[in-house]
Structure 1
Amino acid sequence: MNKLKIVLCTTLALLAFAGNSILCRLALGTGTIDAASFTTIRLLSGIVVLAAILQITKAGNEQISKGSWRASFMLFLYAATFSFAYISLDTGTGALILFGSVQITMILASLISGNKLHYSEWIGMLTAFCGFVYLIMPGLATPSLMGFILMTVAGIAWGIYTLAGRGSKNPLSDTAHNFLRTLPFVAILVAATFQYANLSREGILLAVLSGGIASGLGYAVWYIALGGLLVTQAAVVQLIVPVIAAVGGVLFANEVISLRLLLSSIMILGGILTVILGKHYFSQWTLNRT
């Protein structure tokens, strides 16, 4: 896969993840909508947008692929537990649990499959994760047990969903069908929670934007990017999402660029760069010395 395409798709996907995080916080943090309704509208919006795009582009010569029930269930499980977890978790604590769980899940999967990590990859991951913890440290609080469990499940589910997309031949089609297959799970969620629904126009709009744009299109682009990323790289690059969200706050919410943001950004970006480039350059350096 073209390297420029990988970089572009990875960047767009990470921007979508950050945007999705912001939309979720705005909706759930202010009580404009309940968690179940947000999850339902988010997934339904993703289905509508992706189905429309797939219908428009299906005349192309790409082979049609239809995702999998396993990936669809993990997508639903992530979306639902993520929403409900943020009822009892603050932003910083939730982000730490989520991205920590994602990274651990994907790295363990890589190790179990027989891939051995270079010591530079271990150093890079540790550096990036320390930078991530340092960034969100002021917002950390002792999590509720239920919130911790739910967000851990969300992280594991997202890690598995990401791994499922690494072999995708048609990312748009796979993502669209994965969203479509969540309908039975959404129906069960609606049946179990409809009497507790709390809806507002603002909450519905935020859920639609989260599902149709940040989730639907963002996840399709992410599946494209995964075709050119190693498991370790895909796990670590997601740690930059909180940095993007923080920079977005500086640009769009008149927040101040703090020393903490600068230092954590350097640590996270440096760690990611070490993971992506370290193994290659350390191997070249070793060969040149021998």
Structure 2
Amino acid sequence: MTTPLKTSQCLSLTALAMLAFAGNSLLCRAALDTTSIDAATFTLVRLLAGALMLEAILRLGRKARPAGAGDWRSALALFAYAAGFSWAYIGLATATGALLLFGAVQLSMVGWAIWRGERLRAWQWGGFALAVAGLVIMLLPGIEAPSWQDASLMLLAGVAWAVYSVRGRSQPAPLVATTRNFWRAGLLAALMCLPFVSRLTLDTTGLVYAVLAGALASGVGYTIWYGVMQQLSTASAASVQLSVPVISALGAVGLLDEALTARLLLSSLAILGGVALVILAGRHSIPVIR
């Protein structure tokens, strides 16, 4: 049985988890924009570093490992997310990528709930429409618009992560399942690298960013989130995730000298506001990223 956390502990750990999630975007963008590491190598190193960190955490915590935790379908979704994420960030700004990813994940999970027969309230439908409009605004042609290729890769990464989250809801031991899925996804990433062997680029700084993204932002971040999520209401767990694109945007401005454009601000308000309406006006099946 999980020991209840004090309010201050819960808040601190939740903030750390959100910082870690935002850190994935910042580290990936920094690696692919400022170093010579390639997307395939970054994906492989990130997944293997995450697997090693999660494995170490399980061993230190002496966690029981039930049979059946994790599977190849979930691992394929995790791999698709990680690969699409890396390739998309070759061309996308940090904040744009984080917002597209977040919007795709949340809208996919809401769509899944609708497909399962959940009835949305009028305010939720309004929020859903507003969030979709925000994505459309982001992708409309113009000087500030991201390329369709990069945007499509990030949207596909978001759908893949939504699939992984939905499949993970039935896992009795999510941390064990995630560890095993990271190992499996790492194997898939290694196979992906084979056709690119002659073009793979090893860069020391880029490798450090990949290790940090896998071990800290992913491995430690997910571990903290799985622990604290049990202490939060579903609405709180879903709502707090609204902060991730905001943290990513602010971090990109302060650390990577990226600009906040009018299009990005308008899209952010629409997507985050729309998702907030869906969450706060709902009663069941509120989407929570896992």
TM over 0.5: yes
Moved more, 160-169 or 195-204: 160-169
- Aligned 8 A contact 2:87 2:153 in 1: yes
Partner AA of 1:157 in structure 2: A
1:111 aligns with 2:114: yes
1:206 aligns with 2:209: yes
Partner secondary structure for residue 70 of structure 2? coil
Aligned length: 277
Alpha-carbon distance, 1:246 to partner: 2.6
> What is aligned with 1:16?
20
- Aligned 8 A contact 1:132 1:239 in 2: no
Alpha-carbon distance, 1:277 to partner: 3.5
Tell me which structure has the larger Cα radius of gyration. 1
Where in structure 2 are the equivalents of 1:275-290 lying within 5 Å? Answer: 275-279=278-282
**Distance across 2 between alignment mates of 1:140 and 1:263:** 12
Q: Deviations over 1:225-270 (max 9, x none)?
A: 6666769x74x76443221123335666799999999998877776
**Distance across 2 between alignment mates of 1:81 and 1:256:** 23
- Aligned 8 A contact 2:95 2:248 in 1: no
Q: 1:66 aligns with which of 69, 77, 80?
A: 69
- Aligned 8 A contact 1:243 1:261 in 2: no
Q: 1:140 aligns with which of 141, 144, 156?
A: 144
Alpha-carbon distance, 1:65 to partner: 5.9
**Distance across 1 between alignment mates of 2:186 and 2:253:** 38
1:82 aligns with 2:85: yes
Alpha-carbon distance, 1:86 to partner: 2.4
Partner secondary structure for residue 182 of structure 2? helix
Partner AA of 1:179 in structure 2: F
RMSD of aligned alpha carbons:
4.0
Note the residue ranges of structure 1 that are not aligned, 5 or more in a row. Answer: 281-290
Where in structure 2 are the equivalents of 1:232-243 lying within 5 Å? Answer: 234=238, 238-243=241-246
Normalised TM-score (structure 1): 0.76
Alpha-carbon distance, 1:202 to partner: 0.6
**Distance across 2 between alignment mates of 1:226 and 1:180:** 23
Alpha-carbon distance, 1:134 to partner: 8.0
1:151 aligns with 2:127: no
**Distance across 1 between alignment mates of 2:50 and 2:108:** 25
Partner AA of 2:203 in structure 1: S
1:50 aligns with 2:54: yes
> What is aligned with 1:27?
31
Alpha-carbon distance, 1:97 to partner: 3.7
Change (3 A) 1:136 1:220: farther
> What is aligned with 2:164?
161
Note the residue ranges of structure 2 that are not aligned, 5 or more in a row. Answer: 284-290
Identical amino acids, percent of aligned pairs: 42
- Aligned 8 A contact 1:166 1:223 in 2: no
> What is aligned with 1:189?
192
Structure number with the higher helix fraction is 1
Where in structure 2 are the equivalents of 1:249-288 lying within 5 Å? Answer: 249=252, 273-279=276-282
